[in-house]
Chains A and B, each alone.
Chain A
Amino acid sequence: MKNSSLYKGSLTTIIMKLLEENGRMYGYEITQKVKQITAGELTITEGALYPALHKLESEGLLDVEVERVDNRLRKYYKLTESGEKETVNKMAELEEFIRNMQSILSPDVKPGLQL
């Protein structure tokens, strides 16, 4: 992932948001999707992505489906019911964080109008 602690703290939120939007995804697909959305600005490395996916899986927030694709087995991740609820919470937390940061960085701008 891009060398910034700001991004690192949001990795699970990014993963869960992508899964919420795309239904199910596999590891490599997630890295490419993030690269594509951010026009190459943000890169999620394997070293950060897979442990995060496994942690979310062990916490019961993600479910997996395995399919044979192109001569190999592929592990798809999707949100569980509790994962969907957690995504809503995490997004709300992130939005609040952004609002607060905007209030601090640009105190003259009304934060509610920025989101």
Chain B
Amino acid sequence: MKLTAEQVKQIEVLLAKDIFYKDIRLEMTDHIASYLEETLAEGDDFTTALKQYMNSHHKVKLLTAVREQEKIKDGYYRNYFLRQFVSPKGLLVIASATSTIYIGTLLGPWMYRVCVFLFTLMVIWFLTGFLGLKSQFILRLKEEVQVYYLLPVLLVSQGRRYFEEWPVLPYLEIIGFGLMFTACYFIYLTNKAYKTTKYA
């Protein structure tokens, strides 16, 4: 018995809360739909069959598979993100960002505030999808490590309060901001890699 588009949609909706990655979710939807099409005879009730599947060991096995696949995908994108920092292009971006901020600090003390403002704006941008740039990479990171990814932001923003007398603090701030802006750019590139998924 072939499933209708509405029935397929029902499966996808049920999986949505358990599966983060769209491509994995669509593949699992197809798996369940194929199973139900094979086991359901004409006239059988789809909703009851789906409910039975979702409460059976099949779903547990399916979610075990999903967690494994998510681990593979997380690792792939994490490496994709981190590898960029040690590439020649990455080092160039870090150097450019740090130099620009350094030159800015020579122009006036307002540079620090500009950097904090811009970085906060970028974090909001990635999290809320402002201008259509919602970052799947950050959303996944947030899901995995809660809010701890915001620690660097907190460290830089609170650094002045606790280490004001430290002579190297301004330089560390410049390097810190340089790295954070570079990370923003690499998050943008990693997000682009997410979007090249063949389920786009």
Do they bind each other? yes
Q: Which residues from chain A sit less than 8 Å from chain B, CB to CB?
A: 26-29, 32, 45-51, 54-55, 58, 64-66, 69-75
Q: What chain B residues lie within 8 Å of A32 (beta carbons)?
A: 38
Interface size on B, residues (CB 8 A): 32
Answer whether A54 and B33 are a contact pair too, CB < 8 Å, given A47-B62, A70-B2: no
| Cα distance A45–B58 in the bound complex, in angstroms | 9
CB distance from B46 to the nearest CB of A (A): 13
Verify if B144 is at the interface (C-beta below 8 Å from A): no
| Partner pick for A27 among B2, B7, B27, CB 8 A cutoff | B27
A71 touches B69 (CB 8 A): no
Q: Which residues from chain B sit less than 8 Å from chain A, CB to CB?
A: 2-5, 7-8, 23-24, 26-31, 33-35, 37-38, 58, 61-62, 64-66, 68-69, 72-73, 76, 198-199
| Cα distance A54–B66 in the bound complex, in angstroms | 10
CB distance from B144 to the nearest CB of A (A): 18
A47 touches B68 (CB 8 A): yes
- Name, among B7, B23, B34, B38, the residue most crowded by chain A CB atoms within 10 Å (CB to CB): B34
Answer whether A50 and B27 are a contact pair too, CB < 8 Å, given A28-B34, A28-B35, A64-B198: yes
CB distance from B181 to the nearest CB of A (A): 30
| Partner pick for B72 among A55, A72, A75, CB 8 A cutoff | A55
